[in-house]
Amino acid sequence: MASTPIKAVVFDLDGTLVDSRLDFAAICHDIGWPAGTPLLEQLATVSCLTEKSRVEQIIRRHELAGADAASWIPGALASLQQLQQQGWPLAILTRNMRSATERVISRLQIPISLVLTRDDCAAKPDPAGLMMIASELQLSCAEILYVGDYLFDLQVAANAGSQSCLYLNGLNQHFVAQADYHISHFDQLPALVSQLA
């Protein structure tokens, strides 16, 4: 495990800070792709502009509906507030599009201003977003703890040289071995962050 003291915490959005009830199997079904297809990666291989536009519209419709349905993950808001009171710089790096992300942040009053979406940088697990956040905060990627709930979150941290924390949701225990740390409830995060400082 990395021993560099962390100086900032960056979060995934969907499934980590908020439950947007995005049903990826339903999105794949509406598009006509097999369930489990990685959406953005598959979209990048579509060369026909008409088909690309059709797929983008379906993903956009689902993401905006998800933004309207989103609710806080239990304990996430209190955890963010506690970290902010302790002076930690916080940021969000999400594979969502900016319009859906801004809608969620505005609706739920998420108290984080540094936010990167797939419209701002290459999508996770590409490390570009974490590198941009590190640069903005004038830190090295090794000084960032990235908190997420999915494999892409652990991979983006590894690819950037950051430390990773997996938020366990009952369905993702099989990713634990690839995470540096894990929590099963957000009330555990401030203590972990203090410990890593």
Residues 96-119 pLDDT 10s: 999 999 999 999 999 999 999 999
Predicted confidence (pLDDT) at residue 21 exceeds the cutoff of 90: no
Q: Which of 1-10, 19-28, 54-63, 149-158 has the lowest mean pLDDT?
A: 1-10
Show Cβ contacts of residue 111 under 8 Å, excluding neighbours closer than 6 positions: 80, 81, 84, 90
Cα distance between residue 164 and residue 20, in whole Å: 22
Of the pLDDT bands very low, low, confident and very high (cuts 50, 70, 90), residue 1 is very low
Cα distance between residue 126 and residue 15, in whole Å: 19
- Topology given in CATH for the domain delimited by 8-19+71-196: Rossmann fold (3.40.50)
Which helix (H) or strand (E) segment holds residue 91: the answer is strand 90-93
| CA distance to 84, 138, 171, per residue, from 193 (Å) | 12, 19, 24
Delimiting residues of CATH 3.40.50.1000 domain(s) in the chain: 8-19+71-196
Locate 183 and state its tokens: 């929590």
Q: Which of 16-25, 51-60, 73-82, 131-140 has the lowest mean pLDDT?
A: 16-25
Which helix (H) or strand (E) segment holds residue 52: the answer is helix 49-69
The average confidence (pLDDT) of the chain is: 96
Helix axes 151-160, 128-136, angle to 10 degrees: 60
- Percent of the chain beyond pLDDT 70? 98
